[in-house]
């Protein structure tokens, strides 16, 4: 009912009622601020629970989700909008909720999304000061390549295949090869 009313003013697509008190939908980037203001000021979705970003590399976009909560109805809306991955910019909504700045700093740091006008945007929350690598939560970030190019290999250090190492640690008597199975009675009990 409320969504039908919102559809009269906004371009609302991809509506999905996840459960009785949780609904997701998508609006264009250009309509996000007015949607947030409308839900907050006219429909009592006063609480911004969080903002998250997902790297949809196959589609060339980042999907941002703004989660709003209404205390009276115990209902949450997850409002999605897609922004171009190559020109990753979004309007800053720090003037609507104070905590937005923290979420925007995290999204800038981890995905490289710029929120023009957001205060303290260049402050790192999780990464070391002076981080000069690409945003580490982008799906095209190669952790192994970055580590190999950034850190030196210490003498005496041994690298293990994680699967083999864990198998040896958890199941030391388990036969490793087909010939080991034959030597141990063919794997029969």
Cα–Cα distance, 104 to 98 (Å, whole number) = 11
Architecture (CATH level 2) of domain 2-157: 2-Layer Sandwich (3.30)
In the structure encoding, which two tokens stand for residue 44, read together?
């009592």
Q: Which residues pair with 54 in a beta bridge?
A: 63
Both structure tokens of 54: 């997902």
| Unique residue bearing structure tokens 């090869």 | 177
Q: Which of 109, 131, 127 is nearest to 118 (CA)?
A: 109
Q: Residue 77 is inside which H or E element, if any?
A: strand 75-84
- The Cα–Cα gap between 7 and 55 comes to 27
pLDDT in tens, 76-119: 999 999 999 999 999 999 899 988 988 998 898 899 999 887 77
What Rg value do the Cα atoms of the chain yield, rounded?
24
**With contact defined as beta carbons under 8 Å apart, do 51 and 65 qualify?**
yes
Q: What six digits make up the tokens of 101? A: 């700045």
- CA dist 32 and 38 (Å) reads 10
| Of the candidates 6, 54, 47, 50, the residue with the CA atom closest to the CA atom of residue 27 | 6
Q: How far apart are CA 104 and CA 123, in angstroms?
A: 11
**By the 8 A CB rule, do 93 and 121 touch?**
no
pTM above 0.85, yes or no: no
What confidence score (pLDDT) does residue 171 get? 83
Mean residue pLDDT across the chain: 86
pLDDT of residue 152: 75
As a whole-number percent, the residues of the chain with pLDDT over 90 amount to 51
The ranges assigned to domains in the chain are 2-157, 160-189
Spatial distance between the Cα atoms of 189 and 184, rounded to a whole number of angstroms: 9
Distance in Å from the first CA to the final CA of the chain: 64
Read off the pLDDT of residues 41-80 as tens digits, 9 standing for 90 and up: 999 999 999 999 999 999 999 999 999 999 999 999 999 9
């Amino acid at each position: 009912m409320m969504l039908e009313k919102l559809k009269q003013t906004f371009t609302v697509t991809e509506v999905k009622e996840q459960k009785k008190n949780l609904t997701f939908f998508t609006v264009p980037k250009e309509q996000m601020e007015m949607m947030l203001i409308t839900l907050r000021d006219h429909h009592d979705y006063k609480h911004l629970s969080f903002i998250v970003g997902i790297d949809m590399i196959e589609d060339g976009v980042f999907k941002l989700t703004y989660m709003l909560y209404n205390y009276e109805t115990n209902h949450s809306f997850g409002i999605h909008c897609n922004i171009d991955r190559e020109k990753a910019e979004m309007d800053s909504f720090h003037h609507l909720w104070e905590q937005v700045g923290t979420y925007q700093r995290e999204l800038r740091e981890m995905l490289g999304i710029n929120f023009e006008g957001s205060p303290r945007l260049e402050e790192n929350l999780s990464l070391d000061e002076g981080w000069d690598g690409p945003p580490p939560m982008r799906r095209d970030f190669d952790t192994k390549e970055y580590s190999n190019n950034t850190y030196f290999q210490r003498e005496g250090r041994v690298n293990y295949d994680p699967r083999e190492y864990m198998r040896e640690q958890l199941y030391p008597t388990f036969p490793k090869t087909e010939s080991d199975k034959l030597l141990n009675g063919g794997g029969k009990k």
